Amino acid sequence: MTKMIAGQALVKVLEAWDVNHIYGIPGGSINHTVEGLYLEKDKVDYIQVRHEEVGALAAAADAKFTGKVGVAFGSAGPGATHLFNGLYDAKMDHVPMLALVGQVPQPTMNTNYFQEMDETPMFGDVAVYNRTATTAEQLPYMVNQAIREAYRQKGPAVVIIPEDLSAKEIDYEPVKTPNVVSNTYTQVIDPTAVQETLKLLKQAKHPLVYAGRGLLGARTELVKFSEQFNVPVLNTVPATGVIPTDNPNAIGTFGRLGSKSGFEALQHTDLILFLGSEFPFAQFWPKNIKIIQVNNNSFDIGKMVPVDYAVLSDAKSYLQAMIATGETLPATDWLTANRQNKQNWNAWLAEQAADDSKGLAPEAVTQKIASMVGPKDTYGVDTGNVSEWAVRGLPMDKEQRFALSGLFATMGYGLPAGLAGALSVPDAQAWSLSGDGGFAMVAPDIITEARYQLPVINVVFSNRRFGFIYREQVDTKQHLYGVDLTDADWAKVAEGLGGIGFTVTNNVEVERVFDQIKDLQAQGNQKPIVVNAVIKDDDPIGTAFMPLDPELYGEDTVKAYAEANNIDVAKQPSLGALLRAKGDNL
């Protein structure tokens, strides 16, 4: 045993769990935890953020990028409450996170002391583990247990630390708990479930895989299954990258952030294999189809949509069991038509990127980014229209990693996630993509990227409005109110905060500026970069409903929709038309 303050001992527990950085801001009620970080500064990097929310969001993004627990801290009162956005993001997207929360010294608790709050019930809804320390000696044990629960329950854990306890000297003995929590086990699947779902798959004429985050880390299995059974694959937005974006069987996603190919596949499928997801918009799927749901949480099965067959299993193990049958299905017109539909959609996006006659298209920016990214790059993506452009345009065909605020969908996520990417995957380029609304919420933490010499490339799509909400107000015929934004020169802001700033307004400038950035990075640039991309005001095309099939919607509806959205139906025939041309009468 070794004598040390409890604040240092709890940091040693973080080291045992392979935590190498932690975000936060010092405060009177967390000071001896910060002292512990100082004493262990050679093992754990303390990242001083400018807002605890940024630290908490970055910690959640760390977990999404790596699968390892992300850690942030805040002092009592406002420091604690600022953590909530990151904690709820981790909860709703099911990733492990630890928050160390300061509390006033025990003798002053329950006395209406400065910044004193009853913190334990505050975190009751969000945390999978939520405890307040009562002795200094138990602090290392509590932090260890908190991390175990964060991994076991895939969510945020909270340890509340009265300041006088972290200052006390204790006898510390290293924890013996194994510091690797494996999610790579193979579950034994009921053979009956395999045979019954195989039978349903064989009976289907238009089967479709809908893959969620539960298959992250199972790309090999998903690709093998898709190719062995010749089934097209859709994925949820948070699961972007679960199948390589350049795989011919990957046809995009469904909903407002999705693709034409994704929307139309759902209109003609007769069986969905729903894997590793609690997709909230499944309730909008067509009602006359069969659904097989595979999930390792019984609560999630049937939660969003009624299912015809349930398999209680992790999705990776289920796919492994299906592959092991050695069965296969032939390639069909259904598969080839879906592939062609996705290729047509990609061509349409490229056309949008090429046309800057009415202003810069965001697709031109993502297309240029796609030409520059490396095999391990990370993308931190904000909430709003920018999510659509990222999902539709960023390549996830190698080992790139993607993080956004999925179910919680908080704005201001892009920059913290970009920061996390630079720290969690230091041997690759980190990118952040934000709208001007979300970026304004967290822009001061460009200082943090500058302080720690993190050359994140932060792209800000500036159109001077909350574009996603603007479209909702238009669609629901409300008055346009509160959605316009006062403009700012984000390039100059970046320079004032210690970074490098550029502005682009057309395709020529996009090519020139991003080539300059490429040269800067090749020369060893250590400053964050902000690209203020001033884009045209047009909304991105909504893909939640795309009436392009005259057999389903009528010629007049198709013509009106195509004209309104600049779609050449001859180049973008509907999936239904492609199938009928192949003799599939649906």
Interval 101-160: pLDDT, tens: 999 998 988 888 888 888 999 999 999 999 999 999 999 999 999 999 999 999 999 999
Reported in sequence order, the residue ranges of 414-462 that DSSP labels E, i.e. its strands, are 430-435, 457-462
Question: What single DSSP character describes residue 452?
Answer: T
* Burial category of 327 from C-beta neighbours within 10 Å (exposed 0-12, middle 13-18, buried 19 and up): middle
In one-letter notation, the amino acid at residue 72 is A
Q: Are 163 and 114 in contact (CB under 8 A)?
A: no
As a whole-number percent, the residues of the chain with pLDDT over 70 amount to: 98
Q: What are phi and psi of 32, to 5 degrees?
A: -80, -15
Q: Which two tokens mark 515?
A: 């080539």
pLDDT at residue 186 in the model: 59
Confidence at residue 135, expressed as pLDDT on a 0 to 100 scale? 97
Interatomic CA distance for residues 341 and 391, integer angstroms: 17
Nearest to 58 by CA among 38, 82, 35, 78: 82
Q: Model confidence at 282, in pLDDT bands (50, 70, 90)?
A: confident
pLDDT at 176 over 90: no
pLDDT of residue 182: 47
Determine the average pLDDT of the residues in 431-444: 97
| Residue-averaged pLDDT of the chain | 94
pLDDT value, residue 390:
96
Q: What H or E segment, with its residue span, contains residue 564?
A: helix 555-564
Burial 258-287 (b: 16+ CB within 10 A, else e): bbbbbbbbbbbbbbbbbbbbbbebbeebee
Kindly report the pTM of this predicted structure.
0.95
User: Quick one: what percent of the chain has pLDDT higher than 90?
Assistant: 84
Please check the confidence at residue 582 and state whether its pLDDT lies above 80. Answer: yes
Residues β-bridged to residue 162? 103
Q: How many helices (H) and strands (E) does the chain have?
A: 24, 19
| Residue range 229-260, pLDDT digits in tens | 999 999 999 999 999 999 999 999 998 888 99
Question: Looking at residue 185, what is its pLDDT?
Answer: 53
Residue holding tokens 């193990």? 317
Q: What is the pLDDT of residue 586?
A: 65
Inter-residue contact 542 to 471 (CB < 8 Å): yes
**What's the rounded Cα separation, in Å, for the pair 458 and 161?**
35
Dihedral of the alpha carbons of 25, 28, 32, 34, in degrees to the nearest 10: 10
pLDDT of residue 341: 97
Ramachandran region of residue 498, left (φ > 0), alpha (ψ -120 to 50) or beta?
A: left
Q: What is the pLDDT of residue 505?
A: 98
Query: pLDDT confidence of 541, banded at 50, 70, 90?
Result: confident
pLDDT of residue 179: 54
Whether the pLDDT of residue 183 is over 70: the answer is no
Q: Span 219-232, mean pLDDT?
A: 98
Cα 25 from Cα 27, distance rounded (Å): 7
Q: Do the beta carbons of residue 69 and residue 83 sit within 8 Å?
A: no
Alpha-carbon distance 424 to 14, whole Å?
A: 15
pLDDT band per the 50, 70, 90 thresholds, residue 81: very high
Tell me how far apart the alpha carbons of residues 307 and 362 are, in angstroms, rounded to a whole number: 38
Task: Encode pLDDT of 304-337 as tens digits.
Answer: 899 999 999 999 999 999 999 999 999 999 999 9
Give mean pLDDT, residues 17-25. 97
| Tokens, residue 154 | 């895939």
C-alpha distances (whole Å) from 219 to each of 33, 240, 273 are 40, 11, 16
